[in-house]
Amino acid sequence: MPLIVLWDIDHTLIENSGVSKEIYARAYALLTGKWPEHAAATEGRTDRLIMRGLFNQHALTEPPWPQIEAALTQAGQERADALRARGNALPGVRTILKTASAQESWVSSVLTGNIQANARVKLAAFDLDGLVDLSVGAYGADAEQRPALVDVARTRVRHRYGLPTETPVVLVGDTPRDVEAAEVAGAHAIAVATGVHSQAELARVGAAVVLPDLSDTTALIGLLEGFVSRQKAH
């Protein structure tokens, strides 16, 4: 039985050490000619909503999305070295991504609020980009709201790999928005407390499975296999 596993990036797979907020600030500066007075509000939002919020905070009209995406792409490329120097892959991430990608009939990709170019920059900074299939992920340019990204990724995976419609989808992420996205879209959620939210907080918003981090590869693969088994039982 196949399985689709979708990983969040920031604070789930990597620690960006503030570089994300610098990318948004730089993109804003590229678009307006001046640096923002306020930091972008991120935490599980898509790039579309983050940049809209940044322009709203400064009482400015939001530019057309293609201009914003181009600025974000440039800003991400400019901050790649800073990310590599200051950030890191989180505990267990490299091993679990390798293990998941090796599972027969599983598709392992990403579901992230980042635009695709910056998702690749962030993963490539720590040599993780080759461990997931980025061609079938869902990104911040694909939709404004995170739940809609689940169907984007689901559709891309099914079209590319010809998977049946009942293939279970599992989201792995660190924020309540990840948990909500899974619930709204009919997917499963594994929450990981490697961001700003504690295990207790993530459990309170409805995550059935909450892990301290991704370091226990055997346990995590067992959890993922459990979603496959439950689907088979139905």
Residue 167 CB coordination number (10 Å): 19
Question: Nearest to residue 178, comparing CAs of 157, 165, 195?
Answer: 195
Tokens of 49: 């909503």
To the question of pTM greater than 0.85 for the whole model, the response is yes
Cα separation values, 190 from 51, 77, 80, Å: 27, 30, 28
At residue 41 the predicted structure's pLDDT band, cuts being 50, 70 and 90, is: confident
pLDDT surpassing 90 at residue 65:
yes
N-term to C-term CA, the chain: 12
**Which strands form 188-192's sheet, in the order they lie side by side?**
106-110, 3-7, 169-173, 188-192, 209-211
> Residue 93's pLDDT is what?
98
At residue 15 the predicted structure's pLDDT band, cuts being 50, 70 and 90, is: very high
Question: Residue for token digits 């439950």?
Answer: 230
Tokens of 1: 């039985």
At residue 1 the predicted structure's pLDDT band, cuts being 50, 70 and 90, is: confident
Q: Residues 179, 189: contact at Cβ < 8 Å? A: yes
Mean pLDDT of 214-231: 90
pLDDT surpassing 70 at residue 128:
yes
Mean pLDDT of 152-179: 94
Question: Nearest to residue 12, comparing CAs of 113, 151, 138, 99?
Answer: 113
> Residue 232's pLDDT is what?
62
